[in-house]
Structure 1
């Protein structure tokens, strides 16, 4: 049986590009070479290229997403999507691949766009009884009414870029007079802002995967940040404790698992996702979901898979197997 050519796409156009490159390398290093021929493909704003073993770069033909090596054209059987942020987490890249009829491992373009937009995602989930923080929305150019914001969400509150990840463009605000500065920080990442009430409680992050034909929640991770909240330094610079499985009761663990799997199914997601919750007054409150979560050695999904007894080779291989099956059955 010939090996399947797999493009592992990484990078992207956002502040998360460097993290994505690390995620992509993790996948590249953990794919089974007896089944797959992996190619490291960097999708950057100024260049789409494949990086070969010797470090040389070959341009991607955007007309059909192929590469040419030694006068031979190589087409990809599937794409393993590890782009965080635009264009691989917000649906743009997925739509492009769908037009080319190339299967990819992350959620499809509509689901990706929906979940990348925190405001729209929350709105879609509320009819299903998913609890969330109280929210206030702003678009760039709107009048900033600090009094109305505080009346709606209270203090302290979180100010977030609506369409960004890895805690870029997020601030915790304690005083009304600091709202405008925090909003300005968020607007550097996106032209839409979401302001959320502060939820006191245990923060947890839980992965959900399609594994062996089942939608399955992984063991949750409890986040104990050394900083004021789970910001960039806490996530990527070791300024947090990440405890897997989370120190929550069995009842809480089951409620969290059920909600995470329900969200995955209701939104028709696929591949690997990771959702963030706060246990507030004993109940899980949904914050946001990532459809191309971090896969670096420091990321939560690899930690959770290890506790579940799933190797990264098996996990990543399953994602590719699933989309190749979809392609065969379509």
Structure 2
């Protein structure tokens, strides 16, 4: 069988709304990790034109690592690809928006008996008994543009100047991120061992990244086996319930023995510095094998859509 034509579709991080880590060096790594049964090509996203759509249709599959273009987000790219019947590896616009809009998370989690922090109206903050709150962009990345404040010091003016944000109680406790990828034969999905995001000291307030101090990535964290299995089961159930395609990564915290979902990412970054490649590699799934599985489950979905059973 001749190799299928695969094209990696991306925008440099400077062109994406949230400045995701993706550069020419990232794509060079992707090319090296292309499965043997595909012949790889690369293109920048150049615009929402019929001519560009016709160009992409020449390929058997688009590996979609385009996290946006200008003001358009990754979900808008997926919608445009779907509208032109272009086969690609990302979830549909509807699924991505469902996950991206944090206003949807309480209802999604309630339906599958998973906890998530409630969304609080600004006018109610002073009347509730929570000690601390976190402010997030409603549609943005969880780890960007965060604001944490104590209930005794509510920054009303700053909050009134913000747009498209949500307020939630700040959940203390250990934080983990959990990847979900296709299984080896592309017929189901599997959750990977949680990676812990830990502050470099004993502080109670921390956010992955550097905005509230340095955090560390801990592979194979010290966690009870029963709790680990429960985390993986809940995240896998969430992935399947939402019918996310290919892969996902979900952030959770454990507070007083309860698991709280914080955020769902339907297109986790695959740059070597990012979480999902590290988590997969830790379980013996290198980038080439991860790509093979994503392409396989995508091809199966296009040829014969699968209704996955709940875990």
Superposed pair shares fold, TM > 0.5: yes
Deviation at 1:315, TM superposition (A): 0.5
CA gap 1:121/1:40 in 2 versus in 1, 3 angstroms:
farther
Partners in 2 of 1:181 and 1:9 — Cα distance? 41
Partners in 2 of 1:165 and 1:239 — Cα distance? 18
Q: Which residue is 2:257 aligned to?
A: 282
Do the aligned residues in 1 keep the contact of 2:134 with 2:168 (CA within 8 Å)?
yes
| Match of residue 93, structure 1, among 58, 61, 77 | 77
Residue 103 in structure 1 maps to residue 87 in structure 2: yes
Q: Which residue is 2:173 aligned to?
A: 201
Q: Which residue is 1:39 aligned to?
A: 41
Do the aligned residues in 1 keep the contact of 2:130 with 2:151 (CA within 8 Å)?
no
Partners in 2 of 1:223 and 1:39 — Cα distance? 35
TM-score, normalising length from structure 2? 0.84
| Match of residue 116, structure 1, among 77, 100, 114 | 100
| Match of residue 300, structure 1, among 275, 286, 304 | 275
Q: Which residue is 2:126 aligned to?
A: 150
Q: Which residue is 2:6 aligned to?
A: 6
| Match of residue 320, structure 1, among 291, 295, 298 | 295
Other structure's SS at 2:53 match: coil
Partners in 2 of 1:183 and 1:9 — Cα distance? 37
Count of equivalent residues: 295
CA gap 1:62/1:247 in 2 versus in 1, 3 angstroms:
farther
Partners in 2 of 1:168 and 1:159 — Cα distance? 10
Do the aligned residues in 2 keep the contact of 1:135 with 1:153 (CA within 8 Å)?
no
Do the aligned residues in 2 keep the contact of 1:170 with 1:182 (CA within 8 Å)?
no
Deviation at 1:232, TM superposition (A): 3.8
Deviation at 1:153, TM superposition (A): 6.8
Residue 249 in structure 1 maps to residue 232 in structure 2: no
CA gap 1:84/1:74 in 2 versus in 1, 3 angstroms:
closer
Q: Which residue is 1:65 aligned to?
A: 53
Moved more, 34-43 or 93-102: 34-43
Q: Which residue is 1:140 aligned to?
A: none
Q: Which residue is 1:223 aligned to?
A: 197
Q: Flag structure 2 segments of 5+ consecutive residues without an equivalent.
A: 306-311
CA gap 1:298/1:181 in 2 versus in 1, 3 angstroms:
farther
TM-score, normalising length from structure 1? 0.79
Residue 28 in structure 1 maps to residue 20 in structure 2: no
